[in-house]
Amino acid sequence: MRQINTLENCHNVNDFRSLAKKRLPFPIFDYIDGAADDEVTRRRNTAAYESCDLIPNVLAGVETIDMTTTVMGKKIAMPLFLSPTALQRLFHWQGERGVARAAEKFGTFFGISSLATVSIEEIGESISTPKMFQLYVHKDKGLNKSMVERCKAAKFDAITLTVDTIVGGNRERCLRSGFTSPPKITPASFLSYATKPAWALNYLFRENFELSNLKDHVAEGTNVALSVADYFSTMLDQSLDWTMAEEIRKDWGGEFCLKGIMSVEDAKRAVDIGATAIMVSNHGGRQLDGSRAPFDQLAEICDAVGDRIDVICDGGITRGSHVLKALSVGAKACSGGRLYLYALAAAGQAGVERTLGLLQAEIERDMKLMGVTSVHQLNRDNLRYRP
């Protein structure tokens, strides 16, 4: 097996995964890498793209390629962006700052989570490219309102309401490792932390770890160690429904996305409440194991609402060809989390920039090989499903 020891050895998402595994204590790597129950859905998310083949055309004059698309009211330089994810300074000390700067360099959307480790205000002040805030609805209504108002003041471009975390998924790798936020070192995990001194020194001697957008309202996650699954199950509002989602949309007043839509019925209801985008997503297989893959649901959702709302395919993407398949089905853009978290853990901002550069090059090369000069030319004539 080829050894992946440096950033220069990383040529795809799986290479970054290998390097991240070497550089992180195992409880933290398993938090990124793991999923719910038997992790069937996590594997299916990527395997789903193998259900169909691309059909290229030739002699199309593809010297100049246009990868730009408009999603959630913003033009981005390529049809792939970085989904909001939690706890990023646990994976590398640069955290959300490094991810944001990498997205800015490549002219694409990125997001920060309610469970981010830098503040809404800092990102709003320092980053010029399109940015979204992932809202988890807490039982503390004052906290929810505060986060929305802070996003308005910081001039965020979109709020993305996550709708598939009413309870935490059964993430058994985290149960075995005892992973919490902030981390607790247990007898079982001590050796893993001790043998990753670079990570440990950065965690101990750089700025204190915190959930910057929550710390003034809740101690859990910043000062009180809690697993992410327990945080979802105890801190989030399980009464969240369509009425509340519409109220949040009205209060925000801007581009509004629902993340975690998997059925045609819910996609239609998203249109009805005035959402401007949906992310077809199963939370990376981290919530309901046995759920379908986003790509498998994409065609019928695009057929039902694709002319009325931006449909984003989120999850399982590891190749530029996956992006082209999703766009051919009808998605406006694609997004992912692990595809950049492995790179962040492996090498910080430089890793995220390298993975974005590799994926951008794959998209451009594959478009030329497909005989299309614009992402908007892609359609279902470019696909054949396997029997």
Q: Give backbone dihedrals phi and psi of 277, rounded to 5 degrees, phi first.
A: -155, 155
Which residues are marked as active site?
283
User: What is the spatial distance between Cα 91 and Cα 347, in angstroms, rounded to a whole number?
Assistant: 10
What is the residue whose two structure tokens read 């001590």?
190
